[in-house]
Amino acid sequence: MVRDILRKYGIRGGNHDQHFLVDEHMLDRIVNAADIQPDEVILEIGAGIGNLTERLMVHAKKVIAIERDPALVDVLMNRFGGTEKLEIIHADVLDVDFPKFDKVVSNLPYSISSEITFRLLKHEFSLGILMYQYEFAERMVARANSGDYSRLSVNTHYFADASIIMKVPRGAFSPPPEVLSAVVKLVPRPSTFKVLDEKYFLEFVTAVFGQRRKKMRNSIIRNKQLLGIPDMREFINELPEEMLGKRPENLEPAEFAYLANLLYRHKQGI
């Protein structure tokens, strides 16, 4: 049935992240994982031809679908136009303000997955069931001392609990992408550690992972201007040596927060 819709509307995909999920069993598994309640509003980013949209509407009070491709917006309007259970926003997701929603369930455009994810995490919602490129998903859920541990891992851990709940083969899409995919369960929560300034903390993590093969001491010194501490060579000895001697991939998220807080206090003179 899903493949028939592609043929009916002459949609080929393959451009601009357009790989449509057509495996009906996988679509059902994604919707089931979201555990949608009748009073919930669901946000869908990159609705495409509405394969997932159709299933979400069965369970939700309302689905808000964001789609930038005018041809796909026309398909959505032809398939679902007139129902009060669907609001279609024709826009680039990076340019639009997110409306209020309870959960987000989406096959995200892979090329802008990071930007979308961290925009989402600045909003209040209870659950995300989100499809990513598999390698990206692995970095999201990675822990310290693993090869996939990165800035993305630390930042995700700061905002939410994340876990890979299913792998998605290439053949589940039309046309098949060149990469494997995975669905991530994202549960926002208050941070498990304290940061004095969120923006400074995130910039600090980005800066040191930009030189991930260097030990923290050298990386912090090299980023003294970005971190706002010109006298870093004098101040660096006041930081814990057991952390300075590690590489970024060996520090726990809470250790990044501890160092960032010390640097921020010094920068602010507090």
pLDDT of 9 > 80? The answer is no
The answer to whether the annotation marks 86 as part of a ligand binding site is no
pLDDT of 249 > 70? The answer is yes
Cα gap 131→184, rounded to integer Å:
6
The two tokens of residue 61 are: 């009070």
Cα gap 33→75, rounded to integer Å:
26
pLDDT, mean of residues 172-193: 95
pLDDT of 61 > 90? The answer is yes
Hey, what domains does the chain have and what are their CATH numbers?
2-188 (3.40.50.150), 198-268 (1.10.8.100)
pLDDT of 13 > 90? The answer is no
Percent of the chain with pLDDT over 90: 87
Q: Report residue 167: phi and psi, to 5°.
A: -95, 150
- Integer-rounded Cα Rg, in Å, for the chain is 21
pLDDT band at 214 (very low <50, low <70, confident <90, very high): very high
The answer to whether the annotation marks 46 as part of a ligand binding site is yes
* Angle, CA 137 vertex, CA 131 and CA 141 arms, to 5°: 130
pLDDT (0 to 100) of residue 81:
83
Q: Report residue 46: phi and psi, to 5°.
A: 75, 65
The answer to whether the annotation marks 250 as part of a ligand binding site is no
Instruction: List the single range of 1-5, 27-31, 224-228 with lowest mean pLDDT.
Output: 1-5
Q: Are 212 and 247 in contact (CB under 8 A)?
A: yes
Percent of the chain with pLDDT over 70: 94
The answer to whether the annotation marks 157 as part of a ligand binding site is no
pLDDT band at 82 (very low <50, low <70, confident <90, very high): confident
The answer to whether the annotation marks 21 as part of a ligand binding site is yes
Q: 38 or 269: whose pLDDT is higher?
A: 38
Cα gap 172→152, rounded to integer Å:
26
pLDDT (0 to 100) of residue 213:
87
pLDDT band at 1 (very low <50, low <70, confident <90, very high): low
The residue written with tokens 């129902």 in the block is 83
The answer to whether the annotation marks 178 as part of a ligand binding site is no
- Of the candidates 215, 258, 250, 257, which has an alpha carbon nearest to the alpha carbon of residue 144? 250
pLDDT in tens, 139-149: 999 999 999 99
pLDDT in tens, 85-101: 999 999 999 999 999 99
pLDDT of 15 > 60? The answer is no
